[in-house]
């Protein structure tokens, strides 16, 4: 791969790197674009030179289990050359391990995904591996399941999940169906660097017997196994009217199958967002967490009189949930529907699993260091083991390190894994469990808010929120680094009027908590905490805030919750100044 550019690389050296890359680019279109920019820059076109410096300032690096970035030419973008080199790295990594010499590949419906799968399959097959290409497009959880179910050495999913429409990427899974660990990501990156000229790599044609097209039976197997793992014992259930959106992603066909097979879910889809569309025309960002992303869903839920509204992100590995708040207006009023936070849904699912019963005596629940601390209290109350990991399912999937059966793992960013059928977040399995939860609440004449109040009376009100700054480009990356360095060297004495009691810096890890080194700083405040880290998938600095207010016996939970959220709002407003980004 092209080496990172020196701080003030001479134009001649830059153009040499550009032309060397373009001459070995398997895509005529991106190669032609680079040669055109090089010619213009050589003739004195400053815009062309600036564009090339941006495209060649470095190489895409492995973040959360793979590569992700904007489509375009050069080493710092997603394109056929980067995919070919990544596939060569995966092939070498698989060959060096004691695993089956086979890879499962899936893709979503983003721009370039189909061509990227073809390129990866050709390279992997050319390296002598058996390649199993899943039906296209397919949700990421199906690929994560298939990687274990088909007994292959690795899985490769072409997706950029919830990133903007201009992005694409690929996630890599190990033979256990987990997003690759740091050491494996490093090994793949080294193998990518050692791959040599892309034009010299052997390629397997589409007709090569090493390339196998998997049929829809893999989706059927995933859904059957998911129902057995996620849903409780078969019994008559109260029907649930579910408003649903796939946010222009690939979830709809599989969710329809899941709903039909459940026997108690009636699905009402947002038609304008049901078909996969890589341009995501009705949302600014196809991320259920983004403001406005679920507006059509809430309007549809109000229109059809749904019991619950749910959304998957574009590759269907995450789940958002909204419910009617009767204190805010009529069910038919979209403004009376409330989107629950990722932590709130995590608490509800955990509480539901405990109430349902039948959990293994040594069962484990797990969450991340940026998620709410409430799951720890729920685990202690239920007699379950509890684990806390770094952010992301590449860590959560490894939480049951000593073989404890996983009951539930979740992260506040809407990622949930129920049981250990697969070892990644699963927005479809979580949807089934959430629907079962709502069914039980309806049968009891209760709401999700009633269940949250019941949890709060036992463990206090936990109000959680997030502040983030999107800082793009080289300058943005430098600002993120500077903000983290400032937080470590001169942490604030107070945040939002609350005294900082202690600072936890995970730069060197925390062995006593089983946490490896990470670019994370935590501030313990009076009755609250703040955790700060750079995003692993986007050019963002993220800050996670939690405020805890105890609920005295007989106290008005609504009043306590209002006080907690007032405190949360004050802290979130104070975060930019505390980070030097006001």
Res. 462 pLDDT band, cuts 50 70 90: very high
What is the model's pLDDT at position 124?
98
Residue whose structure tokens are 């949700």: 139
Q: Is residue 525 a contact partner of residue 514, using CB atoms and an 8 Å limit?
A: no
Res. 557 pLDDT band, cuts 50 70 90: very high
- Options 3.40.50.1110, 3.40.120.10, 3.40.50.2000, 3.40.50.360; CATH for 61-198 is 3.40.120.10
Tokens at residue 308, please? 């619950």
Of the candidates 324, 321, 274, 282, the one whose C-alpha atom is nearest the C-alpha of residue 303 is 324
In CATH terms, are 61-198 and 216-350+412-459 the same topology? yes
Supply the DSSP string of 92-123, one letter for each residue. Answer: HHHHTSSS-SEEEEEE-SSTTHHHHHHHHHHH
What is the distance between the alpha carbons of residues 75 and 371, in angstroms, rounded to a whole number?
34
pLDDT digits (tens, 9 = 90+) for 289-323: 999 999 999 999 999 999 999 999 999 999 999 99
Res. 6 pLDDT band, cuts 50 70 90: low
What is the model's pLDDT at position 581?
86
pTM equals: 0.94
Residue 3 clears pLDDT 60, i.e. is over it: no
Residues designated catalytic:
161
Of the candidates 469, 484, 552, 550, the one whose C-alpha atom is nearest the C-alpha of residue 519 is 484
Mean pLDDT, range 88-113, rounded to an integer:
97
Q: Is residue 1 a contact partner of residue 196, using CB atoms and an 8 Å limit?
A: no
Mean pLDDT, range 416-434, rounded to an integer:
96
What is the model's pLDDT at position 64?
57
Alpha helices for 6-105 (secondary structure H): 11-23, 28-42, 46-55, 80-95
- The superfamily (CATH) of domain 216-350+412-459 is Alpha-D-Glucose-1,6-Bisphosphate, subunit A, domain 3 (3.40.120.10)
Res. 574 pLDDT band, cuts 50 70 90: very high
Of the candidates 567, 548, 545, 521, the one whose C-alpha atom is nearest the C-alpha of residue 467 is 545
Please confirm whether the linkage preceding 60 is cis (ω < 30° from 0). Answer: no
Measured from the Cβ of residue 20, the count of other Cβ atoms closer than 10 Å reads: 12
- Options 3.40.190, 1.10.1760, 3.30.310, 2.60.120; CATH for 460-578 is 3.30.310
State phi, psi for 98 to the nearest 5 degrees: -85, 70
Positive or negative: CA dihedral 348, 351, 355, 359: positive
What is the model's pLDDT at position 568?
97
pLDDT digits (tens, 9 = 90+) for 229-257: 999 998 999 999 999 999 999 999 999 99
Please state, for a pLDDT cut of 70, what percent of the chain lies above it: 98
pLDDT digits (tens, 9 = 90+) for 502-536: 999 999 999 888 899 999 999 999 999 999 999 87
Mean pLDDT for the chain? 95
Domain extents for the chain? 1-58, 61-198, 216-350+412-459, 460-578
Residue 63 clears pLDDT 80, i.e. is over it: no
What is the model's pLDDT at position 65?
62
Mean pLDDT, range 133-150, rounded to an integer:
97
Q: How far are the Cα atoms of 68, 167, 312, 314, 530 from residue 109, in angstroms, in the given order?
A: 15, 12, 14, 9, 37
Pairing of strands 211-213, 130-133: parallel
pLDDT digits (tens, 9 = 90+) for 334-347: 999 999 999 999 99
Mean pLDDT, range 268-272, rounded to an integer:
98
Res. 159 pLDDT band, cuts 50 70 90: very high
What is the model's pLDDT at position 4?
58
Of the candidates 138, 434, 354, the one whose C-alpha atom is nearest the C-alpha of residue 257 is 138
3-state secondary structure of 562: helix
């Amino acid at each position: 791969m092209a080496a990172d550019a020196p701080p003030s690389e001479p134009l001649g050296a830059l153009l040499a790197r550009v032309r060397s890359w373009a001459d070995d680019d398997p895509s005529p279109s991106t190669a032609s674009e680079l040669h055109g920019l090089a010619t213009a820059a050589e003739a004195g076109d400053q815009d062309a030179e600036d564009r090339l410096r941006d495209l060649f300032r470095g190489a895409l690096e492995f973040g959360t289990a793979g590569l992700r970035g904007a489509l375009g030419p050069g080493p710092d973008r997603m394109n056929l050359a980067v995919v070919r080199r990544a596939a060569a790295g995966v092939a070498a990594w698989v060959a060096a391990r004691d695993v089956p010499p086979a890879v499962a590949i899936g893709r979503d419906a983003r721009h370039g995904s189909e061509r990227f799968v073809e390129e990866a399959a050709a390279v992997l097959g050319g390296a002598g591996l058996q390649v199993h290409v899943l039906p296209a497009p397919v949700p990421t959880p199906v690929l994560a399941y298939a990687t274990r179910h088909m007994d292959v050495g690795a899985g490769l999913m072409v997706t950029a999940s919830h990133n903007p429409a201009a992005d694409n990427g690929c996630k890599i899974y190990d033979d256990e169906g987990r997003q690759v660990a740091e050491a494996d990501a490093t090994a793949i990156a080294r193998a990518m660097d050692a791959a040599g000229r892309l034009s010299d790599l052997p390629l397997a044609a589409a007709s090569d017997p090493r390339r196998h097209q998997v049929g829809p039976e893999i989706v059927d197997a995933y859904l059957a196994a998911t129902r057995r793992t996620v849903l409780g014992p078969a019994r008559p259930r109260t029907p649930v009217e579910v408003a649903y959106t796939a946010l222009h992603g690939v979830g709809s066909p599989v969710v329809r199958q899941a709903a039909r097979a459940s026997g108690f879910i009636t699905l009402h889809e947002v038609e304008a967002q049901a078909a996969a569309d890589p341009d995501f025309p009705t949302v600014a960002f196809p991320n259920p967490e983004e403001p406005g992303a679920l507006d059509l869903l809430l309007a549809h839920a109000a229109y059809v009189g749904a019991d619950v509204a749910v959304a998957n992100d574009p590759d269907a590995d995450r789940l958002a949930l909204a419910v009617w708040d009767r204190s805010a207006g009529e069910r038919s009023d979209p403004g009376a529907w409330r989107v629950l936070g990722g932590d709130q849904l995590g608490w509800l699912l955990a509480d539901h699993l405990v109430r349902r019963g039948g959990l293994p005596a040594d069962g484990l629940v797990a969450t991340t260091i940026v998620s709410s601390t409430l799951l720890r209290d729920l685990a202690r109350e239920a007699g379950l083991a509890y684990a806390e990991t770094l952010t992301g399912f590449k860590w959560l999937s490894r939480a049951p390190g000593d073989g404890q059966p996983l009951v539930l793992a979740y992260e506040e960013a809407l990622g949930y894994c129920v049981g250990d059928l697969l070892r990644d977040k699963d927005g479809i399995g979580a949807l089934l469990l959430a629907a079962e939860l709502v069914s039980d609440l309806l049968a009891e004449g209760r709401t999700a808010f009633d269940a949250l109040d019941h949890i709060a009376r036992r463990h206090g009100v936990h109000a959680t929120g997030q502040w983030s700054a999107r800082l793009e480009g080289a300058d943005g990356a430098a600002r993120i680094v500077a903000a983290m360095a400032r937080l470590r060297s001169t942490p604030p004495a107070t945040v939002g009027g609350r005294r900082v009691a202690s600072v936890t810096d995970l730069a060197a890890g925390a062995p006593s908590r089983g946490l490896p080194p990470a670019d994370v700083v935590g501030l313990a405040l009076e009755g609250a905490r703040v955790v700060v880290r750079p995003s692993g998938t986007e050019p963002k600095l993220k800050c996670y805030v939690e405020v805890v207010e105890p609920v005295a016996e007989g106290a008005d939970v609504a009043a306590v919750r209002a006080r907690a959220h007032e405190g949360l709002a004050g802290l979130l407003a104070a975060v930019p100044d505390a980070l030097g980004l006001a």
